[in-house]
Structure formats: structure tokens, C-alpha cells
Structure 1
């Protein structure tokens, strides 16, 4: 069975490691990171050219199954995968890590977009910890009244806030490390996306009573969906029988 695995997420790499010895796995990475962590099996880097290009790729390479394990906010790629698989008649599985839920002691404010988060900032704080990725910094470029600590894997590009310090780092992160970072930079509000994962920064924010602006994730495609790489591997093995 030939499997196209979309995404460079932790879950995608784990799934590739679980099934690369059983199936022919091709992992497709967007190419936005210059030094990506490579999964087991074959790897292709770069886009497909929209729905038409992806559908052509599925036909030409005789892909049997597609697993969409992209980042929960990669809505365009997920939409293209859904439409291309429907056009070609290839089964699609969506692998999405669970989102976060607020608990006792959390001071969260859910918003629909980065723009809405930016609009709320002056009411929530002035020293901002941004963990929304480098491509989202433009939404905060006009906030000269705030100071930003922006963390990303790759250096950001303009437009971005004028008063900003960039921290280049890649997770996983620890609660102790996040707590120290927030205290050292005198952060008084955290802005992040509901991407799921360990959530060390959210625990640190709770402990330090820091408010959080949480951007809701877009809806996932209406396809078979699992939340762990192990469940995705089980689904693939059932298909491969």
C-alpha cells in the first residue's frame, strides 16, 4: 500500500516511524523550515500546485491512502487534500492532536482569529509573549504600545511589530523553562493558537496568573479522524489487509 503522509508535525513523524517498514510511505513537507526534522521513509518537499496538482500527483504516483497530519492551522492544505482525494477516489484519514481546554485557574479568552487577538491586546496586557508562528506576526505590526517576545523556529520577515524581541527555538518546552521565560521578560499576556500538544506555556501562565488569548483552530475536514499516531497506524493496517 502506498501512503502519502502530509505534514511535518510530531504526530506525522511518529506515524511514519510506525508504518514505514510495512507500507511505502511518502512524507510531504511544506518546505517552510530550512532544516526540518525528517521522518522515516521517502520525503518530498514543496507544494503540489493546489487541488489540481495534488490530484494529479495522487494519480501519477498511484497513492492508495492519504493521511492529513498537517498542523491544525494548515487549513488550506487540509482543504486541498480533502478535495483532491474526493476527486480521485482515494481514502483520506485526518490525524489531529486534541486541542486544549481551560481548567481551574486558567484565565483564557478565546478568539476566532489573530486579528481579533490583536484587537483585544490593549485590554489584556502590554508585554506580550507571542507563540503564534512567524507568519502571524503581521497581525500585530501596528501595536506600537505593546512590547513583544515572539518565538519561532525560523527568523520572521516584515511586516512585524516594531518593539519586538525574537526568540528562535524549537520545542518541546518545559514548564520550568516557560515560567522562567515569562518572569525574565516580565510578560503579562500570552497569545497562542489552539494547536494542542504539551501546553507547558499554558501551565506556566496559569501558575503565574497570566491571561491567555487563545485563537480557535479552524474546522477539520469531514473525513475519518483520529487523534494519535498509534490510532492512525491501526487505521492504515486495517486498510492494508
Structure 2
């Protein structure tokens, strides 16, 4: 039986995994959420868009003869991760999630930790300042209740007419970014406070290090609770080890 992996993408790990799978000659498809407009070229086939809930994901898995699923979505993509758990359980195929460790505060950090975006918004009930929002576009509109601030937004895709903030500047750029790039950006816009999700990983850590160097606070949104009923690893190398092990179980290598 030939392996056919579905990689639920959205992280740097998914991109690296695609490269490893292509080099190993293992069949796989990268799936991106529908809100991703510009997708980087990849060495394996890709699709963009939702599945239509658990039932839709089950239909896709069965119609495409998917044998294994790897959840390499963002740590905050809870709904997609839950759907993956439920769909794989219903169909009876293996699921593995790659979940990078969260960041931990270091000496010199000034974190204001909150449990959700609503709590992060409340923390901006303060006099005018320059706020860097590093949250993704889907949460931006929630900050309109604090129009006294100037907001700096770094987005992958150009905004349409869906940003309700009154004073903002959008910067269209795709990461990962270096420490020096983020340091330069924060200085240029005189950033006073950063709002970030605790995504973890090295690829997006530079903004946290730059905030530490400039000694301004970070409103850090903690991760949602983990899904305990799934198998998790922390690195792409561990995913590849799992893939090789599973290929032996199928009696094939690709």
C-alpha cells in the first residue's frame, strides 16, 4: 500500500516537512486554510481552502485515499486541529501533530500574559501609544474599541476594506524575519508595545527578542489547551521518523 499523507499546513514546520517528503519521494499534499491568499511554491502538491467541517474532511480523506494525516497548523488553529482529531478517529487512520514548544519569558522580558484576544484588547485601555499587532488579520478588528492608538500591522496579503482601525499602517511582507529586521522595524515606528500570540518556534521569535532589547512590554496571548487525545512531537525530524516507521507498517517506503 502506497503512503499518501495529508499535511495540514500553516507553519514553517509544514514547509520544511514538504521539502523532506519530496526528497524522500513520499506522496503528500499540503493543505492551507482558505484565508491564505499567496502561497509559497512548494515541492509537493498543495490545496487552499477549508474542508467543510469534520464531514468534509472525512470525505476528502476517503476520496483522495489519504493514509496518514500530519497536523502542522498554527498552535492557535484549534478548530482545524479538533476536526483533524475527530475525522481521523472516525475513519481510523493515524494522526500526528507537530507542536513546537511555546516561548518562555527570559531575563529582561516584560510580558503581560493573557488567555485570549479579548483580554489582550483590554490591556490596551491606556493612553495613546504605538502598538505592533502580530496576531494575523483575523483578530485586528477587535482592537477598534481603542482608537487612541496608532497600530502597525505586518500582513502577508494586502488589506482590503476590512480593517476597522482608524489610525494604522500596514506593512506587506512575508517572514521569517531576522532579529535585526524586527529591531529596525520597531525603532522606525517607535513601537511602545507588542501584542503577540505565543506561537513558539525560532522562525517568529525575533520580534520577542527585539522587544526585549528595546525594553518595551509584550502582551502575550497564551496558547489554548492542548488536545490530549492526539500524538504529538516537537520537530520535523520526529515527524519523518514517524513517517518511516509507518511506512514499514504498510510494507512500503514511499
Structure 2 counterpart SS, 1:40: coil
- Aligned pairs for 1:221-232 (under 5 A) are 221-222=227-228, 223-232=230-239
Asked whether the 8 Å contact 2:36–2:48 carries over to 1, the reply is no
CA distance in 2, matches of 1:18, 1:36: 18
3-state SS of the aligned residue for 1:155?
coil
Instruction: Tell me, yes or no, if structure 1 residue 112 matches structure 2 residue 115.
Output: yes
Q: 1:97 aligned to 2:103?
A: no
The alpha carbon displacement at 1:160 in A equals 2.7
Q: Which residue of 2 aligns with 1:154?
A: 157
Q: CA deviation at 1:125?
A: 6.5
| 1:130 Cα offset (Å) | 0.7
- Residue 28 (structure 1) aligned with residue 31 (structure 2): yes
For residue 113 of structure 1, report the CA deviation from its aligned partner.
1.2
Stretch of structure 1 that moved more, 26-35 or 77-86: 26-35
- Give the TM-score of the pair, scaled to structure 2: 0.90
Unpaired runs of at least 5, structure 1: none
Q: TM-score, normalised by structure 1?
A: 0.94
Q: Aligned to 1:151, what secondary structure does the other structure show? A: strand
Aligned to 1:183: 187
Q: Which moved more, 1:26-35 or 1:109-118?
A: 26-35
- Is the CA contact 1:124–1:189 (under 8 Å) kept in the aligned structure 2? no
Q: 1:137 aligns with which of 125, 134, 140?
A: 140
Give the match's secondary structure for 2:194: strand
| Offset, 1:123 | 4.2
Equivalent pairs, count: 241
Decide which of 181, 205, 208 is 2:211's aligned counterpart.
Answer: 205
CA distance, structure 1, for counterparts of residue 127 and residue 200 of structure 2: 23
Give the alignment of 1:49-88 within 5 angstroms. Answer: 49-88=52-91
What residue number does 1:235 align with?
Answer: 242
RMSD between aligned residues: 1.5
Deviations 1:16-48 (A, max 9, x none): 211233321111112322221133222122111
Name which of 167, 174, 177 aligns with 1:163.
167
CA distance in 2: counterparts of 1:19 and 1:232, whole angstroms: 10
**Within the alignment, does 1:42 sit opposite 2:41 as a pair?**
no
SS at match of 1:150: strand
Output the CA distance in 2 between the equivalents of 1:234 and 1:129.
38
User: 1:17 and 1:124, CA in 2 relative to 1: closer, same or farther beyond 3 A?
Assistant: farther
Give the whole-Å Cα distance in 2 for the aligned partners of 1:100 and 1:124.
Answer: 28
CA distance in 2, matches of 1:176, 1:12: 25
Closer/same/farther in 2, CA of residues 125 and 207 from structure 1, 3 Å limit: farther
